[in-house]
Copies of this chain bind each other. A is one copy, B any other.
Amino acid sequence: MPAKKPTVPRIRRQPEAARDNILAAAEGLLIRQGPIALKLVEVAAAAGVANATVMHHFGSIDGLHTALMERMTGELVEAALAAAAEADMNPDGAIETTVQALFDTFEARGAARLAAWLELTGEWKRLNGVRDAVNQVAKQQGKRLGVSTDAAEDMILVGLVLAMGAGLFGRSLGQLMGKPRNLIRDLAAGVLRARALAMKGLA
């Protein structure tokens, strides 16, 4: 007699939860293994679902990529605004807090990898949210430090470049050079901190 087809028990989620589960798995893959690991098969495996499920929710692998970028940039912007708000609440030590938050976001949370991926694939269009966030934070911090919005914006841009560079390359570069784990991050943070303090002093 023919054996019954073995059926695996299924987890049925709400659509949103299902998408979220998949995107979280994909984000982990991106952070740990880089964009090259974002294949349909690998994402599906990491999320614990069938490939067809991924297709069902995102339509195509590109759809998944797009959704992932949007998710991660959303998280990034949110983190930035939260840090700025925090700085406003607590002016003493605001600079230090903000600098650390910036470097944390780009290093630990994978934002630097996201940014690199976007750059290498030419998908900067998606980042309008980032522009608005930078504008907003610049206005806020300019007022706080007593400098023009434009000057604050420039400082933020340098800070971003530093944090992205350190977040993306700091660990590996430090390891390559036989330096302590956080040296490069600390050096970069020091540069930014000095810059912010100087600006505050001048105002």
Q: Is A17 an interface residue (CB 8 A)?
A: no
Q: CB distance B179 to A157 under 8 Å?
A: yes
Give A199 Cβ to nearest chain B Cβ, in Å: 12
Chain A contact residue count (CB 8 A cutoff): 46
Q: Is A102 an interface residue (CB 8 A)?
A: no
Instruction: Name the residue on B nearest A34 (C-beta).
Output: B120
A198 to B122, CA, bound (A): 37
Q: Which of A119-151 contact B (CB under 8 A)?
A: 119-122, 124, 127-128, 130-131, 134
Q: Is A69 an interface residue (CB 8 A)?
A: no
Q: Is A113 an interface residue (CB 8 A)?
A: yes
A169 to B124, CA, bound (A): 10
Most chain B beta-carbon neighbours within 10 Å: one of A33, A153, A187: A187
Per-residue B-contact encoding for A158-182, CB less than 8 Å = 1, 0 else: 1011111110111011111111000
Whether A35 contacts B120 in the complex (CB less than 8 A), given A134-B177, A169-B115, comes out as yes
Q: Is A116 an interface residue (CB 8 A)?
A: yes
Chain B residues near A153 (CB, 8 Å)?
177
Q: Is A108 an interface residue (CB 8 A)?
A: no
Q: CB distance B116 to A188 under 8 Å?
A: no
A33 to B124, CA, bound (A): 13
A127 to B18, CA, bound (A): 41
A64 to B37, CA, bound (A): 19
A85 to B119, CA, bound (A): 33
Q: CB distance A170 to B161 under 8 Å?
A: yes
9 contacts between A and B (CB under 8 A): A34-B122, A36-B121, A115-B169, A116-B120, A117-B120, A157-B177, A157-B187, A164-B169, A168-B168
| Given contact pairs A157-B177, A161-B170, A165-B166, a sample of 7 additional A-B residue pairs in the complex whose CB atoms are under 8 Å apart | A128-B176, A134-B177, A158-B184, A158-B188, A158-B191, A160-B169, A168-B168
